Each structure stands twice: as C-alpha cells, then as structure tokens.
Structure 1
Amino acid sequence: MNQNSVHEVVELLQDMMVLTAQNLTRMEVADHYRVIKELGKGKYGKVTLVTHRQRGTPMALKLLPKSSTDLRNFLYEYCIALFLSAHPNIISMFGIAFESVDHYGFLYEAALQSDLISIIKPREGIPEEAAKLCTKQLVSALEFIHSRGLVYRDVKPENVLLFGQDCQCVKLTDFGLTRPRGTRLKLVSGVIPYTAPELSDTANKEGLPIDATLDCWAFGVLLFCLITGYFPWEKTLPSDPFFDDFIVWQETGSTEDLSRHWRKLTIEAMDMMKELLALKPSERGPVSKALRHLDHPWRVDNWKIIEGL
C-alpha cells in the first residue's frame, strides 16, 4: 500500500469517527444487558461478558471510564476495530457503540475459551501443531492489517482470543495501539520483551516513523513463547544479559552463549527466529517468512521423534 492509500485509510477512519460520534447511543448497560462475569481489566477500563436481556446473545463489552478516556481515542479504537473486523482472524464487532453516564462502551464477539496466554504452559509452551495453527492464522490477520496501511503494535498472547480447541480458530483483539504506517512515535526504553530494539533509542528526540517490522519483532517473541514456554529476554536492552547474548548470536552466528531455552529449537526454528527477530528493521520480516518453516519441526524433541520413526 502506497502513502496515498494510507492517507485514504486515515480519511476513511476520520469519517467513521465523525459518523459514530453523531450517532452515539446513550444508555445504561443494565437496561439492555445482563452482566455475567469480568473477562479482563486494565488501566484502560474493563471487559465483561454480558448477554442481551431479550435475545440472550453472549457478547464481550468493553467499558472505558469517561474520567480517564478521551472521546476521540474511544471513537478511534472502536472505528479501527470495526474497519478491520471483516477478517476471519480478527474479532467480529456488533456495530454497537454507546455512552452511559460514566463510561464509553462497545460490544464485540465473546471468546468463551479465553485467550492464548491461558494455554501457554510455563517451560513447555503449547503443542507444536497448535503453535503452527496459530502462526498461519496470525500471519493472515497481521498481513491483512498491514495491507490496510496500519501497524497493529500490540502482538502478545493476551490479545489472541481462542475460538475452538487446540487453536483451530484464533482472533486478534484490542486495537487501541494500532496506528497508520508512518506515524511518528516517541521512543521508549525496551521495558517489555515485545518492544523492538529500535524503539529503545531514546536519544532520538524526533521519534520513529512506525512500520510493519515492529509487529514482526513482537510476533517472533510470541512464537518463541509458544514453542518454549519462556520469554527470550525480559528487556530489549544490552543491559539484559539474555538479550545481549542474542545480539552476539545475530551478529556473529555463535550460539555458545544463548540461554538453554534456545536449545529447544531446531535449526529450522532458529532460522525462523533469525529472520523475524533481525536486529536491523530493514532485514526483518515480513511476518509471512514464518510460513516457510511450517513443514519443518520446531522443537528438538519433535525432531528426535521423527528421526526415530
């Protein structure tokens, strides 16, 4: 997608926001929905499972407090989720946005089987077949987002919802951080494993124009978690010894100092990580590079099983 097309998407989103604001329904949740349980909570607000009082339809309701939520930010998140929801691996929206006395809210498809983080076993990950099913679906969703000139910016297992056993169907959710490609972001220290290293250059006061390589980095970290049950590092900073050893591997090819968690990966899986987690953004991605490795074992124990057949 060229820059003109990105501008067209931005203009479309702005038009959607204006129309949504003009038609924002005023109502109280309890008048129309029965609250079943809380699904998640954060500094943004909370997500609850509700059913429609008349039809009984289960829905996920995201509520954001007016006291800490700018109306424009709410409209943006709702409209961008609506804009992307046609993809089968992106959460479906009900097209219902409203405001109550204290909250802004919108409704979307409920994931009754929770999210990806709930099935990742520490020190084990998830079954390799399930990890590969996730990979195919998440690549499809991320490529769809990127084809619209957008960068998702929040790839993590908590934002991958489960719709079926063994990851037969997964869907991305939560688009509050999604931005058009080229948007300049203030740089931050790499405080979480998913933060791409170029975002840690806090000496750059002008910020960084974002692109899809940020999602590729976070996607590589996610796959490492699925395969091993560990994060590869805590912070993407040289002060983190695990990340520093990773830098040495990427720059020299020497695996001698990599943590033992990397030993779970086959040569093919290591090659996949080298591509998705390239230190230079120009050498990284796209996310579809992961698809080249689907026909090869990713875990050493699975390779041994195949060898023994």
Structure 2
Amino acid sequence: MADSSAATAAVSGTVAPTMLHELLEITAQSLVRAEVTEHYEVIRELGRGKYGHVMLVTHRQRGTLMALKLLPKASTKLHTFLYEYCVALSLATHPAIISMFGIAIESSQYYGFLYEPALHKDLISIIKPRDGIPEPAAKHCAKQLVSALEFIHSRGLVYRDIKPENVLLFDPDCRLIKLTDFGLTRPKGTKLKLVAGVIPYTAPELSNTTDAQGVPIDSSMDAWALGVLLFCLLTGYFPWEQSLPDDPFFEDFMLWQETGLEKDVPHHWKRLTTEAALMLRSLLALDPAERGPVSRVLSYIDCPWRLEDGHSEEIAVKSKSQLSMSQE
C-alpha cells in the first residue's frame, strides 16, 4: 500500500513534477507482489479499453467490493502504470474524482490498482444517439465536472481526457458522477505533439500543430473538451468528427465563431438555446487565449439549454459523427 502521507502532501498544494516523482518512488517500493486470485475474487468485467481492463472484485478476507484496473505488463511500462496510479491517488480527495484504496499490485502478467466501483457504468451508456440525456442530468454532470476540473487545474495539472467513457455514474440520474482514468494527465506547460489521430475532443491548437517541439498544454484544452462533451450530452452526437478545417461541420462552426451571426449558426446547433450556444461558443473559442474557463459553465446553469421542440426538427448529421461510433 502506498504511503498515505505522501498522497496527502501531493494534494495539499500544486502537484509539481518533483512531488509526483517522489510519490512514484515511494509507490514503486511498496508494490504488492501477488497474483490477483490470491487476494481477490473476480466477479465480472466492468470495462475494457485499448490499454487495459477493469474487473469488479471482492477482497477474499474482508469482502470489500472494489474495481481493479489491470494493465498488461507486456505492453505497459512500469513508470507509465505508476504515473497513472500516483496522479489518481493525489487527486482522489475530491468528491467528483474516483476514490482510491491506496493499493497497487504487481502480478506475473499485470500491474493493477484498486478503486471504488461504479455499478451504474459510465456516461456513454446513457447517452441516446441524436437525443443525449435529460437536461437536468446534463446540468448535474456539468456542475460536478467543472468542480473536478478546477480542482485538477489548481494542482497544476491538465486532465486531457474528457470523454463520456471516463465519467463514471453512481446513480442513473447523474446526481453523483466521478472522473476516472488519469493516464494522459500532465503538468501544465508540458509540451505535447499530436501522436494519434484528431478526434472531436482535440483542441484545434493541438490538431493543427506543426511545431516539432509540441504545444505547451494548459487548462484551455480541458475547457475545449468539456464544451464538446456538453454538446454531446445535449444532442446525442459530436459537433464534428475532427477539429480540422476540412471537416465540413467544423468548417461551419469556424464560420459561426468568426461572424457570430444568427444566419451562420450550424444547423445541428439549432436545438440549443441562445444561452447554451453562448456557453459552448465560449468554451470552444478557436483561440485558446480567448477560451472561457471551465467555470464559465456555472454562469449558465440556471438558464434553459435545450429547446423544447428540438426533437421535432430533422437534423442532418453524418452517422460517423454520432456517439454510437467508438472514439479512442
């Protein structure tokens, strides 16, 4: 079990790279080396992704219900595993971030760590294509995500992986949700290059980067991804497939951002209220220096976000832009 005092120190102020490094070293020395089935009974799989999978388990002696994330050693560097675990551990005190049990294990085939299970799955499981989720639930999500992201940013970190699959549900109405998966979280100012394909959540400054040294990241990238996520919750589809000028949906959005004219509002944005459109235009400002902070959302919480007659309007959207398509 990792030293809890180190975790406490990590959340007491800005999480600097040196502090994370210290927590990494402590955790590396305290890894529990054991086969999973020695201490835990596997109940079922909770989820599976590109880099690992999550199992619902119980502790054989205590009977505690837990989620166990397993990362194959064959494809996962020890430092990569330790980094994700330590970042998650350092942020776990926030009510909208997944709670950790402080146990990191190493088996013959896997690295793993344990956290609280979310038995209502994740946000992607309740988003209806071309419909989204009920507006009250969307607002519950928005308030909690803003709080979690502000907490992460106050620690000098950028989350970098906002998407429905990483928002775990603890009730069907989204009154309690929690962020998970911190493998892509990095300190503010870290220079990053686009190493994978552009997806809807990718901020345009990263999508279009030509700098071989990469782009220094900051909280504005999380604001962009939050804007895309909120659009998905309210409509049931992505606003575009790629944040690149050759995507016709993104091209329409760029024109609207430039003019701000009612006649230039993209067709599939017209089921949103004026207030919701203003909120999202702020989060999705093309220039990161002009992009509103995630807290801007709170100014619009008491406003209506979706038009009542939105379901009656026929909206032409490419099927590949809908949420039913898996986005890595």
Is TM (by shorter chain) over 0.5?
yes
The equivalent of 1:296 in structure 2 is 303
CA contact (8 A) 1:190 1:197 kept: no
Letter in structure 2 aligned against 1:222: L
Kindly provide the CA deviation profile for residues 208-240 of structure 1, in whole angstroms up to 9, marking residues without a partner as x. 010000000000000000111111000001110
Kindly provide the CA deviation profile for residues 80-116 of structure 1, in whole angstroms up to 9, marking residues without a partner as x. 0000000000000000001001111100010000001
**Aligned equivalents of 2:29 and 2:165: distance in 1?**
32
1:51 Cα shift? 1.1
**Aligned equivalents of 1:37 and 1:258: distance in 2?**
46
Kindly provide the CA deviation profile for residues 169-188 of structure 1, in whole angstroms up to 9, marking residues without a partner as x. 00000000000000000135
Equivalent residues, number: 299
The equivalent of 1:57 in structure 2 is 64
Given the alignment, which residue of 48, 62, 80 partners 2:55? 48
**CA RMSD of superposed structures (Å):** 1.7
CA contact (8 A) 2:161 2:184 kept: yes
TM-score (norm. length: structure 1): 0.93
**Aligned equivalents of 2:54 and 2:156: distance in 1?**
28
- Spell out the pairing of 1:222-241 with structure 2 (5 A cutoff): 222-241=229-248
1:158 Cα shift? 0.4
1:53 Cα shift? 1.2
The equivalent of 1:163 in structure 2 is 170
1:43 Cα shift? 2.2
SS at 2:263 equivalent: coil
**Aligned equivalents of 1:81 and 1:158: distance in 2?**
16
**Aligned equivalents of 2:113 and 2:262: distance in 1?**
48
1:6 Cα shift? 8.8
The equivalent of 2:323 in structure 1 is none
The equivalent of 1:73 in structure 2 is 80
CA contact (8 A) 2:129 2:236 kept: yes
Kindly provide the CA deviation profile for residues 239-274 of structure 1, in whole angstroms up to 9, marking residues without a partner as x. 100000000000011343544321110000010011
**Aligned equivalents of 1:105 and 1:238: distance in 2?**
41
The equivalent of 1:306 in structure 2 is none
Aligned pair in 2 of structure 1 residues 77, 275: CA closer, same or farther (>3 Å)? same
- Spell out the pairing of 1:123-272 with structure 2 (5 A cutoff): 123-188=130-195, 191-272=198-279
The equivalent of 1:307 in structure 2 is none
The equivalent of 1:276 in structure 2 is 283
The equivalent of 2:293 in structure 1 is 286
**Aligned equivalents of 2:148 and 2:218: distance in 1?**
16
1:104 pairs with 2:119: no
CA contact (8 A) 1:58 1:110 kept: yes
CA contact (8 A) 2:31 2:106 kept: yes
Note the residue ranges of structure 2 that are not aligned, 5 or more in a row: 1-11, 311-328
SS at 2:43 equivalent: strand
CA contact (8 A) 1:190 1:199 kept: no
Letter in structure 2 aligned against 1:186: K
Aligned pair in 2 of structure 1 residues 49, 246: CA closer, same or farther (>3 Å)? same
**Aligned equivalents of 2:13 and 2:263: distance in 1?**
44
SS at 1:264 equivalent: coil
1:302 Cα shift? 7.5
The equivalent of 1:38 in structure 2 is 45
Aligned pair in 2 of structure 1 residues 169, 207: CA closer, same or farther (>3 Å)? same
CA contact (8 A) 1:182 1:210 kept: yes
Letter in structure 2 aligned against 1:153: R
Kindly provide the CA deviation profile for residues 27-77 of structure 1, in whole angstroms up to 9, marking residues without a partner as x. 000011111111111221111111111222111101111111111111110
**Aligned equivalents of 1:182 and 1:44: distance in 2?**
25
Note the residue ranges of structure 1 that are not aligned, 5 or more in a row: 304-309
